Amino acid sequence: MNERKYISVYFDDEKYLIQAVKKLNESNETILDAQTPFPVHGLDGLLSMKRSRIPVGGFILGFVGAFLAFIFQAWVFTVSYPLIIGGKPFFSVPTFVPITFEVTVLFAGVSMVFALLIRSNLKPEYRFEPLNDRITDDMFVVLIDSTGEKTTIEKIKSTLSGIQTIEIR
């Protein structure tokens, strides 16, 4: 038991989870993580999570994509191989817009998905074992840091006494 660095508390409804997290915050416990079958609203703030910067990454990469696409088309039509098409100007910005837009979206989208996979450490793994088989089904769990001397199961039990839990261990 001492080897474990956390205490897990199981619930069967998200409203108990929210109540418990509030209580635990009041008694200054460190919550390592909460695992839920679906995104529980309001949990982000209670766990004092910072807003993800994935959109910023997407914006930057989208900008890079736009830049590359536009510059490439302009270079092809003015420097590399200027081609007379119906007597139109070589550097015709409007016709570069569609491809520039598509490449922007491609870069932004792909980069955000990869950012999600990398940041959340999502990768194909054969050996992965979930904490509990029911977390992806109907169970909610809060993991509390128990490395400190003061955090014991008894103390957590008394803190959460009024809240309906399935199991505390």
Our finding on whether 121 is near another protein (CB under 8 A) is yes
- What's the closest the beta carbon of residue 160 comes to another protein, in angstroms? 18
CB 144 within 8 A of CB 151: yes
* Ranges of H-type helices in the chain: 14-26, 43-46, 54-75, 93-119, 153-159
Residue 23, amino acid: K
Cα 61 to its chain centre, rounded Å, is 18
Which residue among 64, 66, 106, 163 contacts another protein (CB under 8 A)?
106
Among 25, 30, 101, 168, binds another protein (CB under 8 A): 101
Q: How far is the CB of 149 from another protein (least distance, A)?
A: 26
Q: Which residue has 């897990």 as its token pair?
A: 8
Name residues contacting another protein, limited to 137-156 (CB under 8 A): 137-138
Helix (H, G, I), strand (E, B) or coil at 107: helix
Smallest CA-to-CA distance from 40 within 15, 69, 58, 23 is with 15
Q: Which residues bind another protein (CB under 8 A)?
A: 33-40, 43-44, 47, 49, 51-52, 54-55, 58, 62, 72-73, 76-77, 80-81, 83, 85, 88, 92, 95-96, 98-99, 101-103, 105-106, 108-110, 112-113, 115-117, 119-126, 128, 130-131, 133-138
